Structure 1
């Protein structure tokens, strides 16, 4: 049973890694973002999307902890 769980976990991780690799390889068009007069260097679309995903994964839990401490539901 333990071996089957490990095999399933390895397969799931492999599928996720392959999906991420395909996403990065398919989104290599260069873009530059501009926001309130601030502009970025030209980078692939996948860099901006990956950065925003990571930023959201950090900000979400931090806001959850802050609101839980204040008692806001």
Structure 2
């Protein structure tokens, strides 16, 4: 059963990588972003999309970890107050 799970994970990972490569090749139009007067250099659209995805993948778990730490500290305080 473990080998089947590994094979499914490998196939799924390859499909995701294949999709990213196709996405990158299809979005090669140069684009510059402007935010609060700051202008980025002209880079392919896919660079900005994948960059936003990676930032989101980093921030999401970080926010979850912070929420978990807050909840754990509240639970500790409640348990200490009961004793």
Gaps of 5+ in 2: 72-83
Match of 2:32 in 1: 32
The normalised TM-score by structure 2 is 0.73
Give the deviation of 1:70 after TM superposition: 4.0
Residue 10 of structure 2 aligns to a residue whose secondary structure is helix
CA distance in 2, matches of 1:67, 1:60: 11
| Structure 1 residues 62 and 10, CA gap change in structure 2 (3 angstroms) | closer
Number of equivalent positions: 72
Aligned Cα root-mean-square deviation (Å): 1.9
CA distance in 2, matches of 1:2, 1:67: 33
Gaps of 5+ in 1: none
Structure-to-structure mapping, 1:1-73, within 5 angstroms: 1-71=1-71
| Structure 1 residues 7 and 63, CA gap change in structure 2 (3 angstroms) | closer
CA distance in 1, matches of 2:22, 2:35: 28
Moved over 6 A (4+): none
